[in-house]
Amino acid sequence: MIVSGTMEQALTPTADPAWLLRETGYELLRESTFETRFAISNGFLGVRGGLATHLGACRAVPPRTYVAGLFDTPTPDSAVPELVPAADWLEVRILLPDGPLMRHPDRASRGLTLDLKRGVLLAESRQTSNAPLDVRVRSLRLVSLDARAVGMQMIELDIETGVSDLTLEATFGPTDFELAPERAELDLRAWRTWRSARSLAIAAAAALQVDGMERQPTERGDLTWSWTWTASPGQVVSFQRIVAVTRHHSLDVHSGSRARKELAAARALGWRGLIARHEAAWAERWRSSDVRIEGDTAAQAALRFAAYHLNGAVNPADPHVSVAARALTGDDYRGHVFWDTEIFLLPFYSLTWPEAARALLMYRFRTLPAARAKAAAMGWRGALYAWESADTGAEVTPEQTVGPDRKILDILCGSQEQHISADVAYGVWQYWQATEDEAFLREAGAEIILETARFWASRAALEPDGLRHIRTVIGPDEYHEGVDDNAYTNGMARWTIARGLEVAALLQERWPETWACLSQRLGLDGPELGQWQEAGRTIATGFDPVTGLFEQFGGFSTLEDVDLKAYAGRSVPMDVVLGRERTQRTQVIKQADVVALLVLLPETFPDGTGVTNFDHYEPRCGHGSSLSRAMHGLAAARLGRAETALRYFHQSAAIDLADTHVAIGGGIHIAALGGLWLTAIFGFAGLSLRPDGVAFDPHLPAAWRSLEFRVQWRGRQLSVTLDQATQGLRVSLESGPPLTVFVGGIKHAVSGAAPLRLEGVGG
Ligand code: BGC
């Protein structure tokens, strides 16, 4: 390894504070929140921003490193797998001869800085009283965005006053409760999961320099190191540890060799090379996905924070995993994947990182057999995706939970929340619209759409009234269970069937051989497609042409209408205020439902009824889900209500960024973060993807002087700027062939040489 000297640079945060998230001081009860907010992740490894052990303070929660896809069931009879945390590879103890150095840390001096630009977490603290040494301790940690198996930790001790022997011990936290030890060697340890036959290996190397001179460890054990030396004023001590983590889907006796290879490659780069490549990978991500706002510092910070976590949540090289509801930042929801991914996150990836979007959809393709099995087990055809999905795609929604009143509650989402099967199809189609990735459509996407269309055609039963009904479901509004004809579910089901027919026609026309193979393999013939056509036309919509309203489900309008304004000051969700049973008898909605349909399928709302429905359902929504405000913000922005949208935008941002809202110890709310990006791009800029180009319908909030971002569309890179003063829109084509851009229904040809510059379009 390279000796210290330039550590200073590595430990110095980016100069522009707009790229930094900072906290100072220490409060035990807020630590868990910090750990979530300051998490680092590369889509394979996720590490919470836990307090470094060397501060000697007690911990509120154990440190956590998550490895994507490392699932196991907690007990032999449990059907609900959860992400198993890996050994804490950051554990360090700094000891005086008679105990920890940080016996009396100066807690006020503790500082945490998440450098969003560089993708590193920096920490700082001081020991200045009641000890023989005054020491400043600074540290850096990262999980490499360039080599995802690799994590790195650096610690620097600046000895300010005093002379004493000092020991630095670098160890690994225990995991034997969650994982069974398999191998323990000097540079490598391997474990297996107790029940799911997965294996995990960690190879590691560590080094310490005192005043630039490398020291051999005084003691050495399996993945543990200890150095003892005499500290004196002016001394600079540097410690670095590099780990390489690998996960295997079977119990593989060679599981350590890949970890060792990854470690050797990282060591060959040296820590400076490793940081340089990691930062270059982040620079590339920011080049594609940074959103710049002038005039609203809080919104700028929120969008950077959102893009930071979104970029860190995926691994484009791994189609075995998807993004969980809390990404790789916390225990809540056990690492399970929901509709959050396709509806709230995928557009960000499709338009800024298509390779990542493709990997997420390939996860759905890989889990298609489990979705088919679920549909068949429930007596339907095609594919019904799991409401909560882990590694195999089998349904893993827990069947019961403990309610706020400490009573056991049944959870029906696993059997009834079926709109997921349309949401996945929606994600596939949107990715196709954004990328025209033919290989993906032919190899995977078409099959997902056809099998989900087939599910809906079999699911919607024809009844004597001549309509097809989808009974006994849960829509996005989970306060109401076992409902019939949920407007969102039925609308998305009709849409999925229509896309199934469109995909079938597209394959027949453009790739007849692909169609011949696929239709034969799926046993899909003309009569069945005819039946889809009929089903797509006759599924009940719940739309009332007189009022212009979609009824959220059959009988919704007859339920008690509760005035939510009367509960404005509440600090708990409405279902807790009213109780579960009463809530079910009211029109109180957990989250955007008809409003979500309006966002996803605005064309299903005849003239002007979008506003009618928004105005009807918005006041009935209690926002009991973290997804809700983002969806309302997006809907409001698309309706041109920029100030309402901005209010929702800031409320959504506050979920993870302000301590005044729900506790976030269980992990970041990645869907809400995706929703911020959606509100900015699809909402305020009013982006729409069309078969023949892209369209903009800008509505900038008054406080935003400008909004600037990049998106990729079908092999092109576009840079977009909205300007408040001129109500202007500028679209530049940075790479790729010319395209058509629609603004206010008017077509504009845009090429590299001829950007689009319009004024007076932002109203
Ligand atoms: C929401 C769901 C969401 C899940 C995971 C629930 O509270 O109601 O819509 O998918 O959380 O984020």
pLDDT band at residue 54, thresholds of 50, 70 and 90? very low
By most ligand atoms within 8 Å of CB, the mutation choice from 340, 385, 631 for ligand 1 is 340
Q: What is the rounded distance in angstroms from the CA atom of residue 408 to the CA atom of residue 393?
A: 26
Atom of ligand 1 at shortest distance to CA of 339?
Answer: 10
Q: What is the rounded distance in angstroms from the CA atom of residue 496 to the CA atom of residue 597?
A: 13
Cα 338 to averaged position of ligand 1 atoms, centre (Å): 7
Average pLDDT, the chain: 94
| Secondary-structure percent of the chain, ordered helix, strand, coil, rounded to 5 | 35, 25, 35
Same domain, 252 and 344: no
Cα 627 to averaged position of ligand 1 atoms, centre (Å): 7
Same domain, 275 and 379: no
Q: Are 73 and 29 in contact (CB under 8 A)?
A: no
Cα 37 to averaged position of ligand 1 atoms, centre (Å): 19
Same domain, 114 and 262: yes
Q: Are 8 and 160 in contact (CB under 8 A)?
A: no
Nearest-CA residue for atom 9 of ligand 1: 476
pLDDT band at residue 329, thresholds of 50, 70 and 90? very high
Q: What is the rounded distance in angstroms from the CA atom of residue 757 to the CA atom of residue 729?
A: 6
Same domain, 520 and 661: yes
Same domain, 312 and 272: no
Cα 616 to averaged position of ligand 1 atoms, centre (Å): 23
Q: What is the DSSP letter of 377?
A: H
> What six digits make up the tokens of 353?
């990182």
CB 405: neighbour CB atoms within 10 A?
9
Q: Are 687 and 696 in contact (CB under 8 A)?
A: yes
Average pLDDT over residues 63-89: 93
Nearest-CA residue for atom 8 of ligand 1: 625
Same domain, 405 and 471: yes
Q: Which of 288, 315, 349 is the C-terminal boundary of a domain?
A: 288
Cα 675 to averaged position of ligand 1 atoms, centre (Å): 13
Same domain, 380 and 247: no
Same domain, 609 and 665: yes
Asked whether residue 178 is domain-assigned, the answer is yes
Same domain, 497 and 576: yes
628-656 confidence digits (pLDDT tens): 999 999 999 999 999 999 999 999 999 99
Asked whether residue 315 is domain-assigned, the answer is yes
Asked whether residue 736 is domain-assigned, the answer is no
3-class secondary-structure state, position 509? helix
Asked whether residue 530 is domain-assigned, the answer is yes
Given this model, what pLDDT does residue 256 score?
A: 86
Cα 649 to averaged position of ligand 1 atoms, centre (Å): 18
pLDDT band at residue 32, thresholds of 50, 70 and 90? confident
Average pLDDT over residues 54-68: 72
Atom of ligand 1 at shortest distance to CA of 669?
Answer: 12
Number of domains in the chain: 2
148-196 confidence digits (pLDDT tens): 999 999 999 999 999 999 999 999 887 767 899 999 999 999 999 999 9
Which of 729, 734, 726 lies closest to 751, judged by CA? Answer: 734
What sign results for the dihedral spanned by CA atoms 546, 550, 556, 561? negative
Atom of ligand 1 at shortest distance to CA of 333?
Answer: 5
We report the CATH number of the domain holding residue 215 as 2.70.98.40
Same domain, 239 and 366: no
Q: Which of 644, 666, 684 is the C-terminal boundary of a domain?
A: 684
Average pLDDT over residues 462-485: 98
Asked whether residue 699 is domain-assigned, the answer is no
> Higher pLDDT residue, 57 or 472?
472
Cα 664 to averaged position of ligand 1 atoms, centre (Å): 14
Proportion of the chain above pLDDT 70, given as a percent: 96
Q: Which of 288, 318, 346 is the C-terminal boundary of a domain?
A: 288
Q: Can you give the pTM of this predicted structure?
A: 0.97
Average pLDDT over residues 518-532: 98
Q: What is the rounded distance in angstroms from the CA atom of residue 687 to the CA atom of residue 352?
A: 14
Average pLDDT over residues 323-340: 97
Atom of ligand 1 at shortest distance to CA of 591?
Answer: 8
Contacts for 746 with CB less than 8 Å, ≥ 6 apart: none
> What six digits make up the tokens of 656?
């993870």
Q: Which range has the worst mean pLDDT, 148-157, 229-238, 403-412, 624-633?
A: 403-412
Nearest-CA residue for atom 1 of ligand 1: 625
User: How many C-alpha atoms does 483 have within 13 Å on its Cβ side?
Assistant: 30
Nearest-CA residue for atom 7 of ligand 1: 625
Asked whether residue 348 is domain-assigned, the answer is yes
Atom of ligand 1 at shortest distance to CA of 590?
Answer: 8
Give the largest CA-CA distance in the chain.
Answer: 90
Same domain, 183 and 273: yes
Nearest-CA residue for atom 12 of ligand 1: 325
Cα 456 to averaged position of ligand 1 atoms, centre (Å): 22
Same domain, 240 and 366: no
pLDDT band at residue 4, thresholds of 50, 70 and 90? very low
662-685 confidence digits (pLDDT tens): 679 999 999 999 999 999 999 999
Given this model, what pLDDT does residue 662 score?
A: 65
By most ligand atoms within 8 Å of CB, the mutation choice from 397, 479, 626, 673 for ligand 1 is 626
Q: What is the rounded distance in angstroms from the CA atom of residue 676 to the CA atom of residue 653?
A: 7
Q: Are 165 and 227 in contact (CB under 8 A)?
A: no
Given this model, what pLDDT does residue 252 score?
A: 63
Atom of ligand 1 at shortest distance to CA of 336?
Answer: 5
Domain of residue 232 covers 7-288
Given this model, what pLDDT does residue 660 score?
A: 59
We report the CATH number of the domain holding residue 360 as 1.50.10.10
202-223 confidence digits (pLDDT tens): 999 999 999 999 999 999 999 9
Torsion angle defined by CA atoms of residues 724, 729, 730 and 736, in that order, rounded to the nearest 10 degrees = 140
Cα 388 to averaged position of ligand 1 atoms, centre (Å): 10
In total, the chain counts a number of residues equal to 763
Cα 132 to averaged position of ligand 1 atoms, centre (Å): 52
Q: What is the DSSP letter of 557?
A: G
Torsion angle defined by CA atoms of residues 120, 121, 122 and 128, in that order, rounded to the nearest 10 degrees = -160
Atom of ligand 1 at shortest distance to CA of 671?
Answer: 12
Cα 323 to averaged position of ligand 1 atoms, centre (Å): 13
Q: What is the rounded distance in angstroms from the CA atom of residue 544 to the CA atom of residue 614?
A: 15
pLDDT at position 661 over 60: no
Asked whether residue 708 is domain-assigned, the answer is no
Given this model, what pLDDT does residue 2 score?
A: 37
Asked whether residue 759 is domain-assigned, the answer is no
By most ligand atoms within 8 Å of CB, the mutation choice from 625, 629, 670, 673 for ligand 1 is 625
Cα 41 to averaged position of ligand 1 atoms, centre (Å): 22
Question: Measuring from each residue's beta carbon to the nearest atom of ligand 1, which residues come in under 6 Å?
Answer: 325, 333, 338-340, 476, 478, 590-591, 625, 627, 671
CB 579: neighbour CB atoms within 10 A?
13
Q: What is the rounded distance in angstroms from the CA atom of residue 638 to the CA atom of residue 596?
A: 12
Query: What single letter denotes the amino acid at residue 47?
Result: V
Q: How far, in whole angstroms, is CA 605 from its chain's centroid? A: 30
What sign results for the dihedral spanned by CA atoms 609, 610, 611, 617? positive
